[in-house]
Structure 1
Amino acid sequence: MKHVAVAVGSVVGVLALLTGCSGASNSGGDTTCRDFLAMRTENMDATVARMLKERNGRNSSTTEVVDTRVTTLAACAPPDRGDVTIGDLV
């Protein structure tokens, strides 16, 4: 019985990783501020990293991703920017 519980737990864990626990999609620079602000920090960083890679054609450093996330958060803060894409702001 213990082995069955471990197997079920493993399957649930893998499914959560595959489907994305938060339900957030990574649309890179096409992500709206509303969606970006609703993300967890890890998802924000992944979205920013994808946006930067789309722009630069290379992977960005962790520092660049974090700095851009902070800038994007500030740019998305005004309430009238909910439908603006992050790629248009930073």
Structure 2
Amino acid sequence: MWGPTIIGFGRYHYKYASGHEGNAPLLGFSPRKAQFSLYIYSKTDKSDNFLKDFGKFKMGKAYIYIKKLSDINITVLEKLCLETIAYLNDHHECACRI
């Protein structure tokens, strides 16, 4: 668990140019009342291409909102998750490798 509402897998350490640093899950999921939040990195060119075929969703700052699983392409979700893990393993100190 990451806080009271986020279920996370793995862990990576981040550090911003401002000096702020911390740990975050490689992948995260948070069930909310109106929609689910998926905490996956989606700012790479490869991830952006996957999002074209993802289905019905809204983007937040660092997450994707979906209302129900039937609104999205599960195969694309799997590809996004694998791309996220690969990106974070390449660019950060991670506690989980696949």
Name the TM-score, length of structure 1 as normaliser. Answer: 0.30
Higher fraction of helix: 1
Higher fraction of strand: 2
Name the TM-score, length of structure 2 as normaliser. Answer: 0.28
Structure with more contact order per residue of length (Cα contacts < 8 Å, sep ≥ 6): 1
CA radius of gyration, larger in: 1
